[in-house]
Structure 1
Amino acid sequence: MRSFPLLTAMLFGSIGVFAGNPVATTSLNVKVGITPEYLGLMQFNRLGNKGLTAYKTETFFVAKDKPVAAFTRSVEAGKQIVYVGNYPILVNTGDNVQMALSPKYKDGKALPNQFSASWTGKDAARQGLPYLIDSLYTIGADINTVEQVDAFITARSQQVKEGISRAKIADNENIALINAYEQTKLLLLKFTFQYSHKNLLPLKAYGDWCLQGFDIATPAFSGFGDNGLAQQAVNLWWFARKMQDSTLTDDFKLPEVMMRAKSELVKGSLATILILGEARTNCFTQKLKSLFNAASGLSKDAPAKHTIDSLYKAYHQLEVGEPAFNFALKNDQGDIVRLSDFKGKVVIIDIWATWCSGCVASLPTYNKIKDSYKDKNDIVFLTIGWESPDAVDYWKEFSVTKQIAGEHNLFLSSDRTEEQCKQFVERYCLTGVTRWIAIDENGKIRNGNLGYPTDPAFPQRIANCYKMKN
């Protein structure tokens, strides 16, 4: 864990820090006006690592016992738009950023967590340009036609050009960053207007209008230090593309972004989000294979490449037909139970926890489904409680009250230094509960994630797994 400068350590109670040792080439100094309404939470988002190839986030919990809090940070070399809270800053190598956040008031009362940002110093005009764009591209209720929006945009675009001129920005990289940022805000403005005025234009015409002047191919998206902003740009672009072409489905999203976008950072981030979402929801599916194939076009040096390859390797263990991990866990009677004990039987596993309200709420469903197969000797139901090692006694008592106690009620320690826990979590890609798994009569994966018992189709999924028995 990195140590804090003395001033920062005095002014902040606790913080989530990032890994790595940044090159201290840009100095960021922020003062925050504190009011009783302020919750004391502030985030700092930026790009880090050599070449600005990774998103970094710090969360600050600001001490509220002084009228003004302050913190300083060093930012890696390069040009990027960083975020302090919701306030963007265009920083360059060697900058000495002097930023102040002053509370906003309404009717004499401070608005919770709302500030006005200002900058001082020789590069203040350039550093505050993204914030200027944010303030310019907000339309009021008096604008009700596409023509009015276009006129509004023309006027605001001129003001942005004047801001660039005042800041004396001449280099192409900074201009490209500002243009990409402005395009993103324009797209958000148009999409928001379209959502509130759906019938002014046909859907395709709306899509064409939204994407006028927006270029998904600009490499400058790699200069957005907030992954949320970068992904917002991609998502809005995709919404507009689907308005343009009604035949597009979300299955085409990643392939189109991979084909059209030029920012490896943005492409890799989207691929990771989609692959991780599909894997955690459905485990290893044909869709996951398709997403992985689409992401194979990433540069081998792309930051997300290693992450995606690791995800694919991990979840491939849960492909239908792969051998299931032969766990050995104690039941609530203290006996060791192994998966291999049930060879020749379909095994349905409910992984739950006493601290998970959704898991507990679904235990009656577990009992109901299990009871529906009580006359079958070729299927077995197991509950596995994922608990702290010191919670064994409580888990046993709780299991009795929920009517799941017995030889098929197993305990999984959450202490990953224990080998069985470590292997179980890794082999079944356990990232949360509740989680239901189906294993066939030969000890192979039949379904790595059956979904949630609240789904009306859930009992049928189990029935289908049972019917597939040889």
Structure 2
Amino acid sequence: MKIAGIIFLLFVSLSGMAQQAESPKEYVIKAWNEFQLPEKGAIKAILAQRDQIIRYLKANNAAVEAEQENGAQAIRRAADLYDEGKDAQLKSSEIKKLLKGVDLSTKEFVNCTSLEYVIEDYFGLKAVAEGAPVDQAWGSMWFNTTVETIGNKYDYQRYRQILELNNPELSLAYLSCLRSVFRYNGYTKGLDEIRPLFDKNMPEGALKDEINGLYKSYEHLKQGNVAPAFTLKDFRGKEYSLSDYKGKVLVIDVWATWCGGCIAKLPKYMEMAGKYKDRDDIVFITISIDDKGAYNSWKYALPRLKLMGMTNLLASKGECTFQKDYNITGIPRYFLIDKEGKIVSVYAPTPGKDFEALIDMTLQK
């Protein structure tokens, strides 16, 4: 009985040790969580930590997944050096050495912790190494974007390079973010440029079908296309059509009385309009998407919001097709239409310097 008892206790003890034993990936994550970044020589310390863990993994015949996790963790720590637009001034050679720690073409890479952040940090650092400004290298259309934002060329560069890798698991894991790109940016030049590659390399399935559906539903709103026609009324019942503005650049603020963000930005829109008040080749108007039942709320909001100095139109759902024609899924939205009635942007920037630069460029044509 004693021998049997000892054997039983030994078995329980060994079982407990087996349950407590770390997997190689868990070891990597723990080692990086315990890593203390020094104030000086940060990148050297990160690379040394990564290489030390590599030696441990090789000595223990660890799977590729743990090696990819190690490289990913190192990349995240290096990217932290650039938080809030700081320029860590890392050498291009140091960044390239760091990026070699992962292989985005492998299935194992896709299993890295916080994959979407790793991808964005990888391509952000890569762009910095290639000379991109630090405040632009990470783009602004991130995987977890839930607010209105305008992307830049580095966002589209990231999408393109992911597609070029032709790693189905990676594309499926990350490129669902294209939904938000369409929502907040519409059919952009960048989306148009990656479309052939998307058709070629994106794995067949539900996600590809959904994104292709977005391409089709937003295609009519891309730059250079004729803007969808509309005829709407102001609070006096007078009709205005898009065609009435031919020969002039048309700027539109799409808003509603129930939209706090829209109302907060109206003063900036009015200020921007004021800068062009002496020109006869540009017109600023507003179009509200308030429901028909809120007509009076809209009508009496106009003087209160000091909008009586410009044309204000109402585009209630069910009364016209304006919201459907322009894929209005969120507001405020800003339009810029050229003198020929063609779209410059129906996802223009918030009123400010960037929007004004776009207006000035359009007026010069």
- The two structures have a TM-score, normalised by structure 1, of 0.56
Report what 1:353 is aligned to: 256
- Which structure has greater helix proportion? 2
Select 2:170's aligned residue among 266, 289, 297. Answer: 266
In 2, are the aligned partners of 1:143 and 1:149 still within 8 Å (CA)? no
Report what 2:346 is aligned to: 448
Q: Deviations over 1:274-315 (max 9, x none)?
A: 68537734x444333223244333245155322332332233
Displacement after TM superposition at 1:383 (Å): 0.9
Q: Deviations over 1:63-121 (max 9, x none)?
A: xxxxxxxxxxxxxxxxxxxxxxxxxxxxxxxxxxxxxxxxxxxxxxxxxxxxxxxxx99
Q: Deviations over 1:7-33 (max 9, x none)?
A: xxxxxxxxxxxxxxxxxxxxxxxxxxx
Alignment-mate amino acid for residue 259 of structure 1: E
Q: Deviations over 1:41-79 (max 9, x none)?
A: xxxxxxxxxxxxxxxxxxxxxxxxxxxxxxxxxxxxxxx
Report what 1:140 is aligned to: 36
Runs of 5+ in structure 2 lacking a partner? 1-14, 138-152
Displacement after TM superposition at 1:244 (Å): 4.6
In 1, are the aligned partners of 2:182 and 2:214 still within 8 Å (CA)? no
C-alpha distance in 2 between matches for 1:304 and 1:368: 42
Distance 1:394 1:267, change over 3 A: same
Alignment-mate amino acid for residue 193 of structure 2: S
C-alpha distance in 1 between matches for 2:344 and 2:81: 47
Task: Summarize the alignment of residues 195-274 of structure 1 with structure 2, pairs less than 5 Å apart.
Answer: 198=88, 203-223=91-111, 229-242=114-127, 244-246=129-131, 250=154, 252-260=157-165, 262=167, 264-268=168-172, 270-271=174-175, 273=177
Report what 1:298 is aligned to: 201
In 1, are the aligned partners of 2:75 and 2:121 still within 8 Å (CA)? yes
Distance 1:126 1:408, change over 3 A: farther
Displacement after TM superposition at 1:448 (Å): 2.3
SS at match of 2:97: helix
Query: Which of 189-198 and 386-395 deviates more?
Result: 189-198
Aligned length: 327
Report what 1:181 is aligned to: 69
SS at match of 2:181: helix
SS at match of 2:201: coil
Alignment-mate amino acid for residue 122 of structure 2: W
C-alpha distance in 2 between matches for 1:162 and 1:419: 71
In 1, are the aligned partners of 2:172 and 2:203 still within 8 Å (CA)? no
Alignment-mate amino acid for residue 408 of structure 1: T
Query: Which of 291-300 and 203-212 deviates more?
Result: 291-300
C-alpha distance in 1 between matches for 2:279 and 2:337: 16
C-alpha distance in 1 between matches for 2:88 and 2:341: 53
SS at match of 1:387: coil
Task: Summarize the alignment of residues 33-48 of structure 1 with structure 2, pairs less than 5 Å apart.
Answer: none
Select 2:323's aligned residue among 425, 435, 439. Answer: 425
Distance 1:155 1:275, change over 3 A: same
C-alpha distance in 2 between matches for 1:390 and 1:122: 69
In 2, are the aligned partners of 1:265 and 1:303 still within 8 Å (CA)? no
- The two structures have a TM-score, normalised by structure 2, of 0.69
Select 2:242's aligned residue among 301, 314, 339. Answer: 339
SS at match of 1:296: helix
Select 2:181's aligned residue among 274, 277, 301. Answer: 277
Displacement after TM superposition at 1:377 (Å): 6.4
Structure of greater relative contact order (alpha carbons < 8 Å, 6+ residues apart): 2
Displacement after TM superposition at 1:266 (Å): 2.5
SS at match of 1:215: coil
C-alpha distance in 1 between matches for 2:281 and 2:38: 69
In 2, are the aligned partners of 1:435 and 1:450 still within 8 Å (CA)? yes
SS at match of 2:221: coil
C-alpha distance in 2 between matches for 1:440 and 1:148: 54
C-alpha distance in 2 between matches for 1:126 and 1:355: 57
In 2, are the aligned partners of 1:137 and 1:156 still within 8 Å (CA)? no
C-alpha distance in 2 between matches for 1:438 and 1:135: 52
C-alpha distance in 1 between matches for 2:94 and 2:199: 33
In 1, are the aligned partners of 2:47 and 2:74 still within 8 Å (CA)? no
Displacement after TM superposition at 1:270 (Å): 4.5
C-alpha distance in 2 between matches for 1:133 and 1:156: 7
C-alpha distance in 2 between matches for 1:306 and 1:397: 45
Q: Deviations over 1:169-220 (max 9, x none)?
A: xxxxxx4544433432233235447989957xx6123113312432111123
RMSD: 4.3
C-alpha distance in 2 between matches for 1:332 and 1:155: 72
- Which structure has greater strand proportion? 1
Distance 1:453 1:153, change over 3 A: closer
C-alpha distance in 1 between matches for 2:39 and 2:266: 53
SS at match of 2:315: strand
Displacement after TM superposition at 1:401 (Å): 0.9
In 1, are the aligned partners of 2:289 and 2:323 still within 8 Å (CA)? no
Report what 1:287 is aligned to: 190
C-alpha distance in 1 between matches for 2:87 and 2:309: 60
In 1, are the aligned partners of 2:25 and 2:65 still within 8 Å (CA)? no
